[in-house]
Amino acid sequence: MVKIGNLELGDYPLLLAPMEDVSDPPFRAVCKQNGADLMYTEFISSEGLIRDAAKSVQKLDIFDYEKPIGIQIFGNEIESMREAAEIVEEAKPDILDINYGCPVNKVACKGAGAGILLDIDKMVSMTAEIVKAVKIPVTVKTRLGWDNDTIRIVEVAERLQDVGIQAISIHARTRKQMYKGEADWSYLNLVKDNPRLHIPVFGNGDIDTPERAAEYKAKYNVDGMMIGRASIGYPWIFNEIKHYLATGEKLAAPTLDERIAVAKKHLDFSVEWKGEKLGILEMRRHYTNYFRGMPNFKQYRTEMVTSDTYDEVCAILDQVAKVYADYEFSV
Ligand SMILES: Cc1cc2nc3c(=O)[nH]c(=O)nc-3n(C[C@H](O)[C@H](O)[C@H](O)COP(=O)(O)O)c2cc1C
């Protein structure tokens, strides 16, 4: 049984990765329904939380049915991160997660996110302060290093454990790689081979099919997996992987009716949650995957991603349901 503090997560938990503008409550609702064992919010700016910025504060909203859930924060100032951690704790998540992996310039080049991998002493001090500031378990999400010459992930995991984190998720790329090349999970075996390390280690990067999950589970000795991009528009990935790991058999692909029902639920919640304009806009990145593989779908996809109103998108979904009523998805 994998545990983070007192949270019991099953034998080989599958985690929904934190993803800005993606892993919001509407998306988390459909991932939860489809087997995610632990979910994280989008990252939240510590400075934004302290200033009470509406966008940051809204990201603290979590619901009971989502539990267990972690709220993730990022920042480059130890004091701000400590204060933000206290604000997060008031929202009553199960876990507070620290983002030490974001590679984008506006974050990393200011020393936050993956930027802190260039100053591991500060990373350790910041983590220690945050752990001291809250009672809930603190976890960390990070990358292998800044670049190939600065990979010290074995040492980083051990030092962060020693100041009190209770699990670590590692995206097996460097900051320099951004999202390019293949994630190199062999480093995760090195982290797990450290006899001093006893906290759960979750592997992250490129898990996109049940087959790949099974291959990586066999090859790399991690305690569970975190899944990001493959879940976008395809929340079924969690149950599909679970089933394959348990039986070696693939689940039937979701039917058109299921896809439409889940896309609709996601859309409804998005519009309710963010208002029609933003809700419609942020749903657009999901449609391709919801309907991946359908022949001659381009026209409908284009209409979905250019429609500005809820009624228009619903009308297209209804039309798709009719036109493709007999279509069968292959696995
Ligand atoms: C659109 C997008 C937004 C992301 N936002 C965050 C974030 O807020 N916090 C974070 O720790 N990682 C973030 N990531 C990184 C993912 O959590 C994950 O580490 C990465 O996508 C690799 O996993 P994957 O190959 O399963 O997608 C983001 C990734 C994407 C694609």
Percent of the chain with pLDDT over 70: 100
| Residue 80 pLDDT | 98
At residue 139, the 3 state secondary structure works out as: strand
Contact assessment for residue 71 and residue 88, using Cβ atoms and an 8 Å cutoff: yes
Ligand 1 centroid from CA 313, angstroms: 27
Respond yes or no: is residue 102 known to be catalytic: yes
pLDDT surpassing 90 at residue 201? yes
User: Cβ(99) to ligand 1 under 6 A?
Assistant: yes
Show the DSSP H helices in 137-274 as ranges.
153-162, 186-193, 210-219, 237-247, 256-274
0.95 exceeded by the pTM?
yes
Give 8-73 as a DSSP string.
Answer: E--SS-EEEPP-TTTSSHHHHHHHHHTT-SEEEEEEEEHHHHHTT-HHHHHTT---GGG-SEEEEE
Contact assessment for residue 90 and residue 129, using Cβ atoms and an 8 Å cutoff: no
Ligand 1 centroid from CA 57, angstroms: 20
- Looking up tokens 């983002």 gives 99
| Residue 331 pLDDT | 80
**CA–CA distance, 36 with 29 (Å, rounded to integer):** 10
User: Cβ(20) to ligand 1 under 6 A?
Assistant: yes
pLDDT confidence band for 322 (50 / 70 / 90): very high
Q: Which residue of the set 31, 102, 109, 314 is catalytic?
A: 102
Kindly report, residue by residue over 67-102, the tens digit of the pLDDT: 999 999 999 999 999 999 999 999 999 999 999 999
| Residue 304 pLDDT | 95
Please choose, from the candidates 187, 179, 231, the residue with its C-alpha nearest in 3D space to the C-alpha of residue 207: 231
* Rounded average pLDDT over 168-189: 98
Kindly report, residue by residue over 278-306, the tens digit of the pLDDT: 999 999 989 989 999 899 999 999 999 99
User: Cβ(72) to ligand 1 under 6 A?
Assistant: yes
Kindly report, residue by residue over 160-175, the tens digit of the pLDDT: 999 999 999 999 999 9
Ligand 1 centroid from CA 132, angstroms: 27
DSSP label at residue 205: S
> Best substitution site from 19, 72, 144, 173 to test ligand 1's pocket, by max atoms within 8 Å of Cβ?
19
- Strands 14-16 and 38-45, sheet pairing: parallel
pLDDT surpassing 90 at residue 330? no
**CA–CA distance, 263 with 26 (Å, rounded to integer):** 10
* Rounded average pLDDT over 12-34: 97
